[in-house]
Amino acid sequence: MGLAVVMAVAALAGAATSTIHADKSPTAIPVDVELVIAVDVSYSMDPDEQALQREGYITGFTSRELMQALRSGVHGKIAVTYFEWAGTYDQKIIVPWRLIDGPEAADAFVNEIARAPYRRASRTSISGALTFAKPLFEGSGFHGIRRVIDVSGDGANNSGPFVTIVRDEVVAGGITINGLPIMLKRPNSFTMDIEHLDIYYEDCVIGGPGAFVIPIKERDQFKEATRTKLVLEVAGRRDPVRHAEHAALMIVPAQARGSRIPCTIGEQMWRDRWGN
């Protein structure tokens, strides 16, 4: 999806949000957005999915569309950090906060991601990832007009606090949460994949001004979906329209209604299988 198409139909996500969780130091560098990328490395993510997920972010950050979005900002620069997550207390920062203000900085950032060894770990704690991500903004060294957590994963929360409780705490701190649910495998009880993971993300995970979900249902969507998501996050806009030429790639805004799927479904499936 080209930036011109996105810009033609997008609307501003809203004014700057609360600065409760923000770096207020006088030396903090002003940027258009502070972006925390949180990627799932739980055992449900097979090696192929992990590679596709990482490649999606690498190609997205070095795309022409993202550079155009970067230059359209007030400051023309963003700050980004990238970490992996699995269980409640299993989070690992792969790339600390980095300033991206052009192609060279973007190349350096993705090279750090590419050099990191792959790993996998047990359990799926989206709430743990959000809890870990929230305070990262306070010591980032940057002060963004917007603060965004970008969560990608292939399963529901099954460990740690209930995800809706943590989501609401994060959003109350002036932070937007966007989602990239990965829906490549057919749901089954052994892997504890669920049906309608996109709806789960819409109703239980994302939140804040302009929050949205871009589900990935086919392997060949990874690069396009990730690039589109990053462009929208950098530009501070969202695209609520399904385009005919991208009928399989739906950008879904946050829901303003009650949950259509139990937000404790992951915990329940875990209890049903393991009894705790």
- Assess whether pLDDT exceeds 90 at residue 220: no
What is d(CA 147, CA 79) in angstroms, rounded to the nearest whole number? 10
Calculate the alpha carbon distances from 13 to 55, 60, 204, 210 in Å: 27, 21, 20, 4
Which CATH class, in words, describes the domain spanning 3-14+29-274?
Answer: alpha beta
Task: Give the pLDDT confidence score for residue 15 in this predicted structure.
Answer: 35
How do residues 53-71 score in pLDDT, each as one tens digit?
899 999 999 999 999 999 9
pLDDT band of 196, cuts 50, 70, 90: confident
Report the amino acid identity of residue 125. Answer: S
Work out the number of other CB atoms within 10 angstroms of the CB of residue 75: 16
Highest average pLDDT, of 10-19, 101-110, 119-128, 252-261, comes from 101-110
Tell whether the model's pLDDT for residue 242 goes beyond 50.
no
Domains of the chain, residue spans? 3-14+29-274
The Cα–Cα gap between 13 and 7 comes to 12
